[in-house]
């Protein structure tokens, strides 16, 4: 099949692109490199540097390639930035997605649109734990609002234009190639600082919990959806397990410094959710998917990746250094 992976030079998108190529698919990666890295690109993918907000470029790509699958990972991912500049967030996330959907509509024949959505940011403060896909969606950030809006647009294009879709509501994804810069995931940030001998700061008392899912398990969900899903659907991709930030720090400190660097706490971030965890029963029933990589194993794999990157003298950006991730394909 001919596949477009937007954000395919980024953390999750590059692993997904690898899995498509491993299947024998022909992959075009569209990425503006605002957060992705050329180091992440699979050499067998065709790379186009550009932005999903460039409607002329997007339409040209669809005319040139006649895509079978769109796998959409390109996004403005920073929740705090979305709060500071909701218009920019809307342009990147909603308008960019609509450009892809309109180009797919004009092209015709698209087999499926696959969206990287979000779990915690869509559900907001949860009524029950873990949240399933029927939980009320009450996003408390423009980022969460945008992702839910795109899901609703997908439903519209499915009903009115016949475009099949699948939306994956990720919880906190971690693993090799995650960027430790900016508002990245806590695993990458802590790991990079610990390996540099720096002191990570835990926001607040560190008892806030998240649902950490390994990137290889996320990729496997995409591959299973290609083979097992008929019709359109939305799935949580999660572990249904809560882990607090203090626990994450302790494991990473042991893996990186033998526990030499102890935890240090700073002020809590305003508006931060205290608990976030999602159920994956629906994905298990429909796709046969469940998380396979245990947190401690995934964190060790992530630390080893960062260690190899440091040994190779990396400049701190994502890298393909090291072995392929575990559980990448079904």
Domain membership of residue 71 as a residue range: 2-173+213-238+273-292
Flag whether 232 is in a domain.
yes
Among candidate residues 88, 123, 143, 156, the one labeled active-site is 143
Cα(37)–Cα(190) distance, rounded to whole angstroms? 20
Counting beta carbons within 10 angstroms of the beta carbon of residue 24, is it exposed (0 to 12), middle (13 to 18) or buried (19 or more)?
A: exposed
- Quick one: pLDDT at residue 270? 78
CATH number at residue 99: 3.40.50.720
214 is catalytic: no
Cα(21)–Cα(218) distance, rounded to whole angstroms? 16
With contact defined as beta carbons under 8 Å apart, do 127 and 119 qualify?
no
Q: What is the mean pLDDT of residues 242-253?
A: 98
pTM of the shown model: 0.94
Flag whether 163 is in a domain.
yes
- Quick one: pLDDT at residue 320? 52
Which residues partner with 213 through β-bridges? 173
pLDDT tens digits, residue range 277-327? 999 999 999 999 999 999 999 999 999 999 999 998 744 444 454 333 433
Flag whether 319 is in a domain.
no
pLDDT tens digits, residue range 67-93? 999 999 999 999 989 999 999 999 999
Flag whether 262 is in a domain.
no
Q: What is the mean pLDDT of residues 4-31?
A: 98
């Amino acid at each position: 099949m001919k596949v477009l992976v937007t954000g395919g030079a980024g953390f999750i998108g590059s692993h997904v692109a690898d899995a498509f190529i491993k299947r024998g698919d022909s992959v075009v990666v569209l990425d503006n490199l605002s957060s992705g890295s050329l180091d992440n690109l699979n050499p067998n993918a065709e790379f186009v540097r550009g932005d999903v907000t460039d409607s002329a470029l997007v339409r040209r790509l669809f005319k040139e390639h006649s895509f079978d699958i769109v796998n959409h990972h390109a996004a403005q991912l920073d929740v705090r930035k979305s709060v500071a500049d909701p218009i920019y967030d809307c342009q990147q996330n909603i308008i960019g997605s609509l450009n892809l959907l309109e180009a797919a509509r004009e092209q015709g024949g698209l087999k499926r649109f696959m969206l990287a959505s979000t779990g915690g940011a869509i559900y907001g403060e949860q009524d029950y734990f873990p949240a399933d896909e029927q939980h009320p969606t009450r996003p408390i950030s423009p980022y969460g609002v945008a992702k839910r809006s795109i899901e609703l647009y997908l439903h519209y294009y499915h009903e009115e234009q016949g475009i099949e879709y699948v939306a994956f509501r990720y919880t906190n994804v971690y693993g090799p190639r995650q960027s430790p810069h900016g508002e990245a995931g806590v695993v990458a940030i802590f790991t990079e600082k610990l390996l540099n001998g720096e002191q990570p700061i835990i926001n607040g008392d560190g008892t806030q919990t998240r649902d950490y899912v390994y990137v290889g398990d996320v990729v496997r969900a995409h591959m299973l959806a290609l083979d097992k899903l008929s019709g359109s659907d939305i799935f949580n991709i999660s572990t249904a397990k809560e882990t607090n930030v203090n626990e994450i720090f302790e494991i990473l400190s042991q893996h990186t410094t033998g526990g030499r660097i102890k935890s240090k706490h700073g002020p809590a971030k305003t508006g931060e959710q205290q608990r976030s965890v999602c159920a994956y029963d629906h994905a298990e029933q429909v796709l046969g998917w469940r998380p396979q990589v245990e947190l401690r194993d995934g964190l060790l794999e992530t630390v080893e990746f960062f260690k190899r990157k440091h040994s190779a003298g990396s400049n701190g950006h994502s890298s393909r250094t090291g072995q392929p991730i575990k559980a990448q394909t079904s």
